[in-house]
Amino acid sequence: MNDDQLLRYSRHILLDEVGIQGQERALEAHALVIGAGGLGCPAVLYLAASGVGRLTVVDHDRVDLTNLQRQIAHTTHRIGHHKVESLACAVHSINPEVQVTTVAERADEALLDRLVAGKDVVLDCSDNYRTRQAVNAACVRHNVPLVAGAVIRFDAQITVVDPRVPDAPCYGCLFPPEADFEEVRCSTMGVFAPLVGVVGAMQAAEALKLVTGAGPSLAGRLLMLDGRTMEWSSLRTARDPGCPVCSDRL
């Protein structure tokens, strides 16, 4: 690290759990973020501010006026722009050293298979069940840890999938991919704006712990937040030996 980096990241370096070695690991890390919306905005901004050296952000959508209630990296002046480009602009205003690769495409299976390979961590900040399952499957195939978050209305959840941990469950163990899941979206159900900030920031925290080695992750636990009462609940989760996604890795 140079002198400017030592100063910029000094508050992390002061932490015994991070230190210079942990910060250097962050600077060398490459994170893939799926979604540049309510969760992706705070997650990416915190990763960039914390010095994660390379970020690849995937989202096919453009900034809309209705996004600005919660997607804090976007601005009124960037309505109509691709979300990934808007988010990259926000990142570079905070930390110009971060290398941002933008992918303005829908995150389908083929794209995920290409992008997940070789990454240090993946953050699923998408807003639909099918994409979450596709991201999980790609991370399991490529043995890459995944931080998955979701928010709808006043309800939020976050977990970590770490295929490197032999007995840790994947997202498919918790939410079967073949389930007849009724898709709900904030465009029809609504979402309490600050909750996406809470969960997006936590996704960044979990990703940073994974790349720096600062502490144990949420692998094997599902955290759920009721935004009405601000009460957290924690569920210990087990690997499903019959999971169609990860059972062949047992």
Positions marked catalytic: 186
- The number of beta carbons lying within 10 Å of the beta carbon of residue 3 is 7
